[in-house]
Structure 1
Amino acid sequence: MVLLAVLVLFFLDAIREMKKYSSSEVDNAHGHLDAEMQVNMRLFRAQRNFYISGFALFLSLVIRRLVILISTQATLLAQSEAAMRQAKSATTTAQSLLAQNQASVAQNDTNEAHDREITELKEKLAKAEKALVLEKKDKEAIKSQAESVNAEYDRLSEEHRKLQATVESAGGEPKKYA
C-alpha cells in the first residue's frame, strides 16, 4: 500500500513537472538556445518520469490483482483437496463398516439394530458420495478458473508483445532509461 502511494506521488510529480516545463516553453519561445535546450531536456525527463511512473502504477495494480486471484485459487484448491480426502476417508470407513456388518448379518438373522446401522451407513455413504461429486465439481471449477486466468495472462503477454513491436517499428528501437 505504501508502494502504491509512492508511485502515485511520483506520477503526480511527473504531471506537475510536465506542466511546469510546458508552460515555460511558451514564455521563452525566442530565448537563448542553451536555455531552450535545458527546458526541452527537463521536459523530456518529466515526460519520461510520467510514463515510467504511470506504467509502474498500472503494473502494480495488475500484479496485486493477480496475487489476489492466485491466493484465492490456492485456498480453494487446498479446501477442495481436504474435502476430497475427508470424503474418501468417510467412503472407505463406511465401506469397511458395511463389509463388517454384512459378515455379522450372516451370523445374526434377527438383528434389527444392525439393519438400522447399515441403512444409516448407506445414507452416510450416499452423503459422502454426493460430497465427493460436489468437491469434484468445485475442483473442475477451480481448474477452469485457473485456465481462464492463464488465458488472460497469455492474452496480456501477446498484447504487450504487439505493443512492444509497435513501439520498435515506430521509434526504431525501444528506449531504455537508467
Structure 2
Amino acid sequence: MTLQWTAVALFLYGEIAVNLILCLPFISAKRWRLVFSWRIWNWLSPYWNKCFFTMIMVLIVLFLDAVREVQKYSGPEPMQDAKVNPNVYDHVHMKLFRAQRNLYISGFSLFLWLIMRRVVTLLNQVAVTLESSAGLQVQMDSAIKAARQHQEDNRMLKQALLDDEKSMSAKNQQLKLEVEKLAAQLKAAEEAMRKSHAEVEAMKRQAKGLAQEYDRLLREHHQLQNLQGPEDKKDQ
C-alpha cells in the first residue's frame, strides 16, 4: 500500500472511531455542545469549511482515480494478456484487488466524512432544540402558574363577590323588613290619626250641639225672665 492510500486508510479508521464516539448513547447532545464550544474549535472554525471542502476534493480525486484503476484492470485487454502468461494473470488480479480496495477506502472515507459533518450538525441542532424546549418549558410552566394564579384570584374574587352579594341580600332583606315595619307603624299611626280626627270631629260636633243647646236654654231663660217681669209689675 502506497503512502497516500495508507494515509487515506488511517483517515478512514479515524472517521470510524470519531463516528462511533459521536454515536455513543450515554453522551448527550448537551455535553457534545459543551465540547464543541471549546475555544480551540472557535479558533479552528474559520479554517473548518476550507479544510472540509479540501478533504472532499482530495477524496473525490482519490475515488475517481480508484474507479479508473478498477476499470483499467478489469477491462478485456489485461485479461487477454493474463491468459497468455499466468504471472501476468496474478499481477493483474493483484492490481485489480488493490484498485478495488482503494475504491472502497476512498468511497467509505468520503461517505463517513460527510456523515461525520452531518452528525456534528445534528448534535448541535438537537442541543439547541433541547435548550429551546427547556426555555419554552420554563415559560410554559410560568404561564401555567400565572394562569392558575389568575384562576385562583378569579375564584377568590367570585367568592368575595358572592359573599358581598349574600351580605347585600341579607342587608336588603333586613332593610325590607324594617321598611315593612315602618310602613306598618305608619299605617297604625295614620289609623290612630284618623281615629283622633274622628274623635275631634265628634267632640266638635258635640261642642257645637252643646253650644246650640246652651244658646237655646239661654234664650228660653231670657224669655222666662221677660215673662216674669210684666207680671211682677202688675202685682205692684
- The answer to whether the superposition gives a TM-score over 0.5 is no
Q: Normalising by structure 1, what TM-score? A: 0.45
Rg larger in 1 or in 2? 2
Q: Normalising by structure 2, what TM-score? A: 0.35
Taking CA–CA contacts closer than 8 Å with sequence separation of 6 or more, which of the two structures ends up with the larger relative contact order?
A: 2
